Structure 1
Amino acid sequence: MIPDDALSPMDDYPIHQIAEPIRRVATSDRNFYDRYYFNCYPSPDPDLFLIVGLGQYPNLGVQDGFAVLRRGDDHLVVRASAALGTDRTDTRVGPLRVEVLEGLRRLRVVLDDNEHGLAFDLTFTGSVPATLEPRHFRRQLERITFDTKRFVQTGSWEGTLTVDGTSTAVNGWLGNRDRSWGVRPVGEAEPPGRRAVDGIANFFWIYSVMQFDEFAVSVIVQEDERGRRIVEEAVRIWPDAATEPEWLGRPEHELRFAPGTRDVVGASLSFHRPTGEVTTVDATLLIPNYIGIGTGYGLEQDWRHGMWQGDLVVQGLRRQVSEIDPALRMFCPVDNLASFELHDDGEKFTGTGLFEVAAIGPHDKYGFTGFTDTAP
């Protein structure tokens, strides 16, 4: 039991936002969260895709994290959940932890040796400034269901990755990270009530973070079933922190689906400025990582981000990607490792990075009328 008047080392810093100890947030909404996300892949010839996440849920009293590796046909997950203590700087969840070495620039991510076949000790160094994204806000039947902020950063990795007892030196691997916080659905599923009939009808989402030698590009698109925008962004981020991110214009998308599925197998993006200038990006999807399988994003009802599992629980999960039910994948956001070819003002740039996509439920543009129909 945590005493009501418990303090933590963070309370010694002048960073308070409300008249409470720093471990308490300004809202009592059960769905408040504070999370890290990282991805990592070899460069220039990627053959695997590692994703790591760690979150705190102060009003649920839980801290949890996961690592998911896609390598060949393997989908390998290590996940951990623990009781959240008073010290919000203590990010250890069993064998997993995140260390901030230099705020907004260098972080260390560690998964200690364990029985589940995956371990690493990796340090991320940002290649562009951490950049704040637009606020993500959505209300449903008068209740705020999303009210979040996030920043994004591309960079490189150094360290060691161990899979099934074989260690690989990580030197100059690439990836991106983000930090997000606020209110979004977490923890045990709540009774839907009226939302079961008057709820949000779809989840259509594109989130792409592209890393080029000269700059990074971040793109966000969320649309309702008719294609109306909920949040959008398209910016170029320069390495020089003194240079403001450049707005590229309104983002538009063309997704290509494998027939008989909702698996996205290719994509093109375009950014339209009021002046008529257009920047285009062709994305080649290289390695899909099904982050909804086993990590806590919501498909398994017994393991969701923020769900109480006990004082400390550590689990492993291994699947063959070829055996994952295609019907299950329809309800799973997918983090694709992708290569990109960007055309802007007569110049061509090539890069790699994240293309996260979900087309869940109806969407007029792509002809989806429900949750289970597929592409022709």
Structure 2
Amino acid sequence: MLTKGDDYPLHQTPEPMAVSGGNRNFYDRYFFNGYSPDGSIFFAAALGIYPQLDIMDAAFCVTIDGKQHNLRASKRMSSERLELTVGPITVTIVEPLQKLRLTVAGNDSPITADISFTACHHPIEEPRFIRREGPRLLMDYTRMTQNGDWSGTITVDGQDIDIGNCRGTRDRSWGIRQVGAAESQPPPAGEFPQFWWLWTPINFDEHCGFFHSNDDGEGEPWNRRGVVDAIIGSATEFEPKAIDLSYHSGSRRIKQVQLDTGNGALAITPRTDDQARTFYMSGLGYLHPVWGHGMDHGDLETGYDVIALDPEPGIDMTTIHIQALSDAVLTVDGKEHHGIGVVEQLFIGPHATSGLTGIMDPAA
């Protein structure tokens, strides 16, 4: 089962590169987001590889003028993991850990793109995520995260948009998550008994801020890390014992997050003055009932739809996982730095310390 990847010195087992362990849920994914300072445009992309399922899928989404345009594609990859093209969407590694290019060729949607991401700091390696439900391994993966700047052009409905003023984040994660078709015998407690996820990459002129937390139903963290990274200089890690946060009443959406960094403070506030500043992660396949990650759509399939952004949507699986464009204030050694980034949030089930109960009951 030899493929092009076997000509690169990347093997970590005696098997060919096409074989990645024995777990059918192994995946390898690229993620990107970007946004203008005024929030007039927000875009995101992902490309996922599922070697045991022999599937590769990708998505490119643009939020503009109160609408979210979602272009998705899926193919059977014949074990070639290095051909990072799915239909019209291609990821190119220009300089590893520094610069990547993302192109969207002409297709049946009104979206095309030729854009590049340049990192402004060394990638942050998040702690390894390992989670079991009883004896069953639900996830075991690593992610690295980088903030940076964008260049190039996105075209939507014939309008060319120069994104040279946009900042954003890209990540790479790989390991084991639930992907593809649902398992025939899920865990007795169900596939989503509880999951509380907060992820906040922030861009500043002189620093990059980052914080994430996975908490259990009691609100205790099982994976948590923060980093304040000087663009020229060393990174400082922090792991606060508590998160000072609040929700918008009647929802599960974050109103504000405040963190003690050990050498100052980080306050992050999602914007609320423009509904176009909320991005639905279902556009990239997360929790999507049809375009979920690793689903088999045949040799090659593409799809396109448009979501009208609702500032107060009903709470369901397609709207509960979001990235909210946010303003941030970082205090370091008594000096304030103002930045912009996202608060990614996926809150299913209870979270006692912040008052969430039930599977999707809103905050008071």
Alignment of structure 1 residues 142-161 onto 2, 5 Å:
142-161=135-154
Alignment of structure 1 residues 123-138 onto 2, 5 Å:
123-138=116-131
- Could you tell me which residue of structure 1 aligns to residue 343 of structure 2? 355
Change (3 A) 1:87 1:197: closer
Secondary structure of 1:197's aligned partner: coil
- Could you tell me which residue of structure 2 aligns to residue 315 of structure 1? 303
- Could you tell me which residue of structure 1 aligns to residue 22 of structure 2? 28
Amino acid of the residue matched to residue 29 of structure 1? N
C-alpha distance in 1 between matches for 2:354 and 2:184: 31
Q: 1:232 aligns with which of 219, 224, 241?
A: 224
Q: Do 1:112 and 1:120's aligned partners in 2 also have CA atoms closer than 8 Å? A: yes
- Could you tell me which residue of structure 2 aligns to residue 210 of structure 1? 202
Q: Do 2:201 and 2:211's aligned partners in 1 also have CA atoms closer than 8 Å? A: yes
Kindly state the Cα deviation for residue 330 of structure 1 after the two structures are TM-superposed.
8.0
C-alpha distance in 2 between matches for 1:330 and 1:268: 23
Amino acid of the residue matched to residue 326 of structure 2? A
The CA deviation string for residues 178-230 of structure 1, in whole angstroms up to 9 with x for no partner, is 0000001111111344x243766311111000111111111111101101111
C-alpha distance in 2 between matches for 1:123 and 1:9: 25
- Could you tell me which residue of structure 2 aligns to residue 299 of structure 1? 288
Q: Do 2:270 and 2:324's aligned partners in 1 also have CA atoms closer than 8 Å? A: no
C-alpha distance in 2 between matches for 1:253 and 1:192: 36
Change (3 A) 1:324 1:58: farther
Q: Do 2:266 and 2:328's aligned partners in 1 also have CA atoms closer than 8 Å? A: no
Secondary structure of 2:6's aligned partner: helix
Change (3 A) 1:188 1:316: same
C-alpha distance in 2 between matches for 1:94 and 1:361: 36
- Could you tell me which residue of structure 1 aligns to residue 270 of structure 2? 284
C-alpha distance in 1 between matches for 2:311 and 2:107: 25
Q: Do 1:201 and 1:362's aligned partners in 2 also have CA atoms closer than 8 Å? A: no
C-alpha distance in 2 between matches for 1:333 and 1:20: 37
Amino acid of the residue matched to residue 326 of structure 1? G
- Could you tell me which residue of structure 1 aligns to residue 252 of structure 2? 262
Change (3 A) 1:24 1:244: farther
Alignment of structure 1 residues 82-101 onto 2, 5 Å:
82-101=75-94
Kindly state the Cα deviation for residue 283 of structure 1 after the two structures are TM-superposed.
2.1
- Could you tell me which residue of structure 2 aligns to residue 55 of structure 1? 48
Kindly state the Cα deviation for residue 119 of structure 1 after the two structures are TM-superposed.
1.4
Q: Which segments of 5 or more consecutive residues in structure 1 lack a partner in the other structure? A: none
Q: 2:97 aligns with which of 97, 104, 122?
A: 104
C-alpha distance in 1 between matches for 2:126 and 2:309: 32
Kindly state the Cα deviation for residue 121 of structure 1 after the two structures are TM-superposed.
0.6
Alignment of structure 1 residues 326-341 onto 2, 5 Å:
326-328=314-316, 332-341=320-329
Q: Which segments of 5 or more consecutive residues in structure 2 lack a partner in the other structure? A: none
- Deviating beyond 4 angstroms after TM superposition, the runs of 4 or more aligned structure 1 residues are none
Q: Do 2:26 and 2:52's aligned partners in 1 also have CA atoms closer than 8 Å? A: yes
What's the % identity of the aligned pairs?
31
Q: 1:19 aligns with which of 14, 22, 30?
A: 14
Normalised to the residue count of structure 2, the TM-score between the two structures is 0.93
C-alpha distance in 2 between matches for 1:108 and 1:285: 29
Secondary structure of 1:23's aligned partner: coil
Kindly state the Cα deviation for residue 55 of structure 1 after the two structures are TM-superposed.
0.5
- Could you tell me which residue of structure 1 aligns to residue 61 of structure 2? 68
Alignment of structure 1 residues 103-122 onto 2, 5 Å:
103-122=96-115
C-alpha distance in 1 between matches for 2:311 and 2:165: 33
Secondary structure of 1:365's aligned partner: helix
Change (3 A) 1:229 1:361: same
Secondary structure of 2:197's aligned partner: strand
**Count of aligned pairs:** 360
